[in-house]
Chain A
Amino acid sequence: MISIWFFIGISLAVNGALILAAGIYQFINPPVNPGVVLFNLHANVWWGAVLLVFGLFYCVRFAPKRRA
């Protein structure tokens, strides 16, 4: 049976990758009016990266094992 932690890993990794990608895009093409406070900290870049790393760790650690 696939572990619940594997599903958590997929969720965090995919969300982290999407947020990181959106953050990098905004970092390269900063909007004229960011619409958020503390935009200069680029939270979506580092928070997306954190989620991606956690997610990948869970995916690898709890990956379904192949049957012999």
Chain B
Amino acid sequence: MTPLLAIAVPTRLVHLAPVDVVIVVFYFALVLSIGWYLKGRANTGEDFFMAGREMTAWVAGLSFLSANLGALELMGWAGSAYQYGILATHWYWIGAIPAMLFLALVMMPFYYISKTHSVPGYLKLRFGEPSRALSAVSFAFMTVLMSGVNMFAMAKVMQIVLGWDINFSIWVSSLTVGIYVTLGGLRSAIFNEVLQFFLIWAGALLIPILGLYEAGGWNNLKLQIAHRASDQYVHLWSGLGSFSHNPMGINWVGIVFGLGAVISMGYWTTDFLVVQRILAAKDIRSAEMAPIIGAGFKMFVPIIVILPGLLGLGLLPEKLVPESVATVTGGHSYNDVLPLMLARYCGPGLLGLGVTALIAGFMSGMAGNVSAFTTVWTYDIYRPLFNSKGSDRHYVNMGRWTTIIGVLISVGTAYLVMHFASIMDYVQALFSFFIAPLFGTVVLGMLWKRATGPGGFWGLLCGTLSSVGMWTWVKVDPSALRYVALSPYAKGLAQDMFQALWSFITCVVVTVVVSLATKPVPDSELTGLVYGMTEIPSVGDVPLYQKPLFWAAVVTVVFFVLNIVFW
């Protein structure tokens, strides 16, 4: 019996052939080799934490997208597509594209020319130390916890899909990530994210190709879904007139304003996990092009995520059920739809590639969390609060040690979640508390010169507390959802959208009121930080097809066409 088989348990969704195991092992060998190769190129702070700020637009853009293309994301949204139909696509289109373009054209110049190492670093420059401390501590704490939650989730998926022992998955993945990030820093994480991007497409694209062939084309698939579920499962907008006319229990206000204008803006423009990849770009044009390249590819991710969920809904003979029901009945849950479709079409070799894509997604997500945590801890917590006079070499060493400690905390969190499953829900909820208000604070800081330090701090704090308050209110009294989402027909996802919307509004109102009541910041201190006080750097004298604005326009047109086609 091989070691791999020795750690397996009998129940599993798929069985790997020897060639599949070779493909998985080759992936681990390759990422460790990349880390080893890059270890000599991570000697300075700029190299280790910012990848030398020499990434091209393509590398930064694909890395930016990959940081959000983890395996939990893929499996979770494929499951949501099975559960809610094509409505799940909103999280890839209106819930991403406008925010990415906004980041590229409006916010990126400020992040870039301020030469900040992080989003909390920008808050320090614009609003002062208290805002940075609040943002940095909450981000670092939550990022490392999220990394542990994801690690446990990955180990659980590997147990269900492959029958692998949970301890084996946790330790092999965390040690691998720990080694290659400690050796190569952010550059190593970025290289592996780009590699993961290709593996995910190579491993998952066959499912929609073969699925549509089996279904007899898109129109036939729509008919089958309408027959087995409802016609509303294949329409993006036509059922969003009211909460009760679509499977998700949400309306267009929640999608457009809650998701499109607040949550996605908060995530894609202020979550340092993704923004860090853009800050590593080599020049201002690359920094603006990178999110646009990411947006271009993001629009087509539903092909490998949403479409497999819809194909499962139309083609799988068995009916998938919620996780809570599957646990009791022993059936398959919505979240199993992607592995089920993988097993349906992929024979030896292809299965190994698909599983490798999932593992790569998990590991690069973990590496993203750890590298972002390391930067924020070193530059925004350790340096200002504990040791502001260390040498560059000292901070690089601190970064390496923080990487190891971050991985160990993640492992500890994973084991904590293993024994107290409800922690997972709390950690994921906690993370969402900070996103919407942080966006309010950053965007006001960039666009409104009258915003002051106390205004930024109190706006961020009150917005976050309002989010915590609404979440607690609905947790204690579920019927309160009708007040938060403004409808008795609202369902769970509507809570997230409206909670974000209210907390953003709270943050903006408090920031404005406190700012107007406090002393304005002198104009001289706002240069390079605020719109109107800053000369926006030119992308250079380049042809039209190399201008970020041109490609942003192209992406916008495609975005509208797609939404109209699938209306």
CB within 8 Å of B: which residues of A? 1-2, 4, 7-8, 10-12, 14-15, 18-23, 26, 34-39, 41, 43-44, 47-48, 51
**Cβ–Cβ < 8 Å partners of A18 in chain B:** 19, 22-23, 26, 349, 352
**Cβ–Cβ < 8 Å partners of A23 in chain B:** 347, 349
Task: Let me know if B547 is at the binding interface, CB within 8 A.
Answer: no
Question: Per a CB cutoff under 8 Å, which of A7, A19, A26 touches B353?
Answer: A19
**Cβ–Cβ < 8 Å partners of B213 in chain A:** 38, 41
A43, B202: Cβ atoms closer than 8 Å: no
Instruction: Classify chain B's interface size.
Output: 20 to 34
Task: Let me know if B348 is at the binding interface, CB within 8 A.
Answer: yes
A19, B350: Cβ atoms closer than 8 Å: yes
A14, B26: Cβ atoms closer than 8 Å: yes
Complex Cα spacing A26 to B343, Å: 17
10 pairs of residues in contact across A and B, judged by CB atoms under 8 Å: A4-B194, A7-B191, A36-B344, A36-B345, A36-B346, A37-B345, A43-B345, A43-B347, A43-B350, A47-B206
Interface string of B447-485 (1 = CB under 8 A from A): 000000000000000000000000000000000000000
Question: Per a CB cutoff under 8 Å, which of B19, B191, B214, B356 touches A4?
Answer: B191
A1, B41: Cβ atoms closer than 8 Å: yes
Closest Cβ of chain B to A16, distance in Å, is 8
**Cβ–Cβ < 8 Å partners of B344 in chain A:** 36-37
Question: Per a CB cutoff under 8 Å, which of A2, A10, A22 touches B19?
Answer: A22
Task: Let me know if B34 is at the binding interface, CB within 8 A.
Answer: yes
**Cβ–Cβ < 8 Å partners of B30 in chain A:** 7, 10-11
Q: Which B182-233 residues sit within 8 Å CB-CB of chain A?
A: 191, 194-195, 198-199, 202, 206, 210, 213-214
Complex Cα spacing A47 to B353, Å: 11
Complex Cα spacing A1 to B348, Å: 35
A44, B198: Cβ atoms closer than 8 Å: no
Query: Whose C-beta in chain A lies nearest to the C-beta of B347?
Result: A36
Complex Cα spacing A47 to B209, Å: 11
B348, A44: Cβ atoms closer than 8 Å: yes
Complex Cα spacing A1 to B40, Å: 11
A34, B195: Cβ atoms closer than 8 Å: no
Q: How many pairs of A and B residues are in contact by the CB < 8 Å rule?
A: 86
Closest Cβ of chain A to B171, distance in Å, is 24
**Cβ–Cβ < 8 Å partners of B326 in chain A:** none
Query: Whose C-beta in chain B lies nearest to the C-beta of A8?
Result: B198
Query: Whose C-beta in chain A lies nearest to the C-beta of B63?
Result: A4
Whether A11 contacts B348 in the complex (CB less than 8 A), given A22-B17, A38-B210, A38-B214, comes out as no
Chain A to chain B: the 3 pairs with minimum beta-carbon distance, closest first = A19-B349, A22-B349, A22-B348
Task: Let me know if B401 is at the binding interface, CB within 8 A.
Answer: no
Task: Let me know if B305 is at the binding interface, CB within 8 A.
Answer: no
Question: Per a CB cutoff under 8 Å, which of A12, A22, A34 touches B202?
Answer: A12
Question: Per a CB cutoff under 8 Å, which of B26, B194, B343, B348 touches A15?
Answer: B26
Question: Per a CB cutoff under 8 Å, which of B27, B191, B199, B348 touches A26?
Answer: B348
Complex Cα spacing A23 to B26, Å: 19
B19, A38: Cβ atoms closer than 8 Å: no
Question: Per a CB cutoff under 8 Å, which of B41, B347, B349 touches A35?
Answer: B347
Complex Cα spacing A36 to B17, Å: 14
**Cβ–Cβ < 8 Å partners of A12 in chain B:** 198, 202
Closest Cβ of chain B to A44, distance in Å, is 5
Central interface residue in A11, A38, A43, by most chain B CB within 10 Å: A11
Central interface residue in A7, A12, A23, A39, by most chain B CB within 10 Å: A7
Query: Whose C-beta in chain A lies nearest to the C-beta of B213?
Result: A38
Task: Let me know if B59 is at the binding interface, CB within 8 A.
Answer: yes
**Cβ–Cβ < 8 Å partners of B567 in chain A:** none
Complex Cα spacing A11 to B180, Å: 17
Complex Cα spacing A4 to B58, Å: 11
Closest Cβ of chain B to A24, distance in Å, is 10
Whether A11 contacts B41 in the complex (CB less than 8 A), given A36-B345, A37-B345, comes out as no
Closest Cβ of chain A to B15, distance in Å, is 9
A34, B347: Cβ atoms closer than 8 Å: yes
**Cβ–Cβ < 8 Å partners of A14 in chain B:** 26
A15, B195: Cβ atoms closer than 8 Å: no
Complex Cα spacing A36 to B191, Å: 34
Complex Cα spacing A8 to B190, Å: 13
Task: Let me know if B560 is at the binding interface, CB within 8 A.
Answer: no
Query: Whose C-beta in chain B lies nearest to the C-beta of A51?
Result: B202
Closest Cβ of chain A to B317, distance in Å, is 11
Complex Cα spacing A41 to B41, Å: 46
Task: Let me know if B37 is at the binding interface, CB within 8 A.
Answer: yes
Interface string of B10-37 (1 = CB under 8 A from A): 0000000101001100110010001001
Whether A15 contacts B353 in the complex (CB less than 8 A), given A8-B198, A38-B214, comes out as yes
Whether A4 contacts B210 in the complex (CB less than 8 A), given A22-B348, A44-B350, comes out as no
Question: Per a CB cutoff under 8 Å, which of A2, A7, A47, A51 touches B195?
Answer: A7
Complex Cα spacing A31 to B325, Å: 36
**Cβ–Cβ < 8 Å partners of A11 in chain B:** 27, 30, 195, 198-199
Query: Whose C-beta in chain B lies nearest to the C-beta of A50?
Result: B202
Closest Cβ of chain A to B193, distance in Å, is 10
Complex Cα spacing A39 to B345, Å: 8
Complex Cα spacing A18 to B202, Å: 13
Query: Whose C-beta in chain A lies nearest to the C-beta of B194?
Result: A4
Closest Cβ of chain A to B135, distance in Å, is 31
Complex Cα spacing A18 to B17, Å: 12
Query: Whose C-beta in chain A lies nearest to the C-beta of B191?
Result: A4
A47, B350: Cβ atoms closer than 8 Å: yes
Interface string of B331-374 (1 = CB under 8 A from A): 00000000000011111111011001000000000000000000
Complex Cα spacing A7 to B187, Å: 14
